[in-house]
Amino acid sequence: MKLGLLFSGGKDSVLAGFVAKKYGHELSCLISLLSENDYSFMFHTPSVSNVSLQAEAMNIPILVKNTKGEKEIELKDLKSVILKAKKEYDIEGIITGAVLSVYQASRIQRICNDLGLEVFNPLWQKNQENILSELIENKFDVRIVGVFAYPLNKKWLGRKIDKQYIDDVKILNDKYGISIAGEGGEFESFVLDCLFFRKKLIIENYEDYEDGENSCKRELKLGLVDR
């Protein structure tokens, strides 16, 4: 089936696309909403301007739509870009990286139902530690680019999701209830490389921004190299 991947550049959306490909589906295009609102109801924002470079690394066309990130306008913008993907790339369905958010998932379900499109949520209700383990098993290079909850701080920015990372975040899960895969919005991630990338991204430079001790972001300046 020809599918469009709702794409934030983070681990969940890339993993969802990876799983869909493993099941034999074609990723016809990526669909990204660039929110001007840091507190978007639906979408990640860190390093989202780098998604075009990720699309190039995957060799998959991307549709990018800017949105003000206000609750209902965001949904209209999402619907219009999904409709565009349906017309331009003849997609029959959408893949999302939704795991736990019924808010996010049910709104996408409504939009796609109106447009007569299938929705695939391959990570739906998946155990969060299993998500991270699957990333490691499949050689994803995922970096933390934002932290938004106590006791996370700027020391976590740039960390790669590996076994040590899982061990460390599990301690915070036990002590402070930090979601292991960041499903509560505690942290955000960015994928530099994975098995279905044709090229990989490298970090050439970065700039960190702090909005309090436990709210920090890293803007990545990226390059593209052969794998």
Partner 1 sequence: MKTILIISVCNESLHELEFVKPVSNILDELNVKYELKYYKEVINFEEYSHVIICGTSLQDDYFLDGMEYFEWLRKYDGKVLGICAGMQILGLLFGGDITKKTEIGFYMENFPSDFLGVSGKQEVYHLHNNCIHNWKDTGFDVCCVGDGKVAQAVKHEDKEFYGILFHPEIRNKEMVKRFLE
Residues that bind partner 1 (CB under 8 A): 1, 19-20, 23, 25, 93, 102, 106, 109-110, 112-113, 116-127
DSSP sequence for 60-74: --EEEEEE---HHHH
**With respect to partner 1, which residue has the nearer C-beta, 20 or 81?**
20
Q: How big, in percent rounded to 5, are the helix, strand and coil portions of the chain? A: 35, 30, 35
Evaluated on CA atoms 188, 92, 56, 199, the torsion sign reads: positive
CB of 118 to partner 1, least distance (A): 5
CB of 157 to partner 1, least distance (A): 31
CB of 91 to partner 1, least distance (A): 13
**In degrees, to the nearest 5, what angle opens at C-alpha 219 toward C-alphas 224 and 17?**
55
Peptide bond into 122 cis (omega under 30): no
Residue 47 DSSP symbol = T
**With respect to partner 1, which residue has the nearer C-beta, 49 or 179?**
179
**With respect to partner 1, which residue has the nearer C-beta, 12 or 193?**
12
CB of 61 to partner 1, least distance (A): 21
Please, are residues 67 and 22 in contact by the beta-carbon 8 Å criterion? no
Nearest to 176 by CA among 184, 10, 146: 184
Peptide bond into 46 cis (omega under 30): no
**With respect to partner 1, which residue has the nearer C-beta, 102 or 225?**
102
- Run of H or E residues at 218: strand 216-226
**With respect to partner 1, which residue has the nearer C-beta, 123 or 145?**
123
**With respect to partner 1, which residue has the nearer C-beta, 112 or 169?**
112
CB of 24 to partner 1, least distance (A): 8
Residue with token string 């001007």:
36
CB of 116 to partner 1, least distance (A): 7
Please, are residues 111 and 161 in contact by the beta-carbon 8 Å criterion? no
